[in-house]
Amino acid sequence: MEVSRLFPGSGTVRENPSKDLLEKVDYLEETGRRVQELYQRGLNPRQIARRIFGPELLIAYVTLGHFSGKCLVQSYLRGGAAPTPNPHDLMH
């Protein structure tokens, strides 16, 4: 069954969701490759997150680190299992 619309949490209705979802999958897979490459070069999760995503957004602080670049990097490094973030780590 072809999907004609997608109503994501962002509030932006997607009129061509199949294409958008495939692009998101490509982005996430490429991000995973970049995370692994930087980790192999010796960067730690915080350094990797900063290099790929830039500074943490406000939402990282509001969610006590659960929705942060560092948490996403750690989930890639752990094979998808998201760690419990330490809010103190956001300040460093």
- pLDDT digits 0-9 by tens, 13-67: 988 888 888 998 999 999 999 999 999 999 999 999 999 999 999 999 999 989 9
Distance between the two ends of the chain, CA-based, in angstroms? 47
Band the pLDDT of 82: cuts 50, 70, 90. Answer: low
User: What local confidence, expressed as pLDDT, does residue 69 receive?
Assistant: 95
Give the relative orientation of helices 17-40 and 45-53 as an angle to the nearest 10 degrees.
140
Give Cβ neighbours of residue 4 (< 8 Å, ≥ 6 apart). 15, 17
* Domain edges within the chain: 17-91
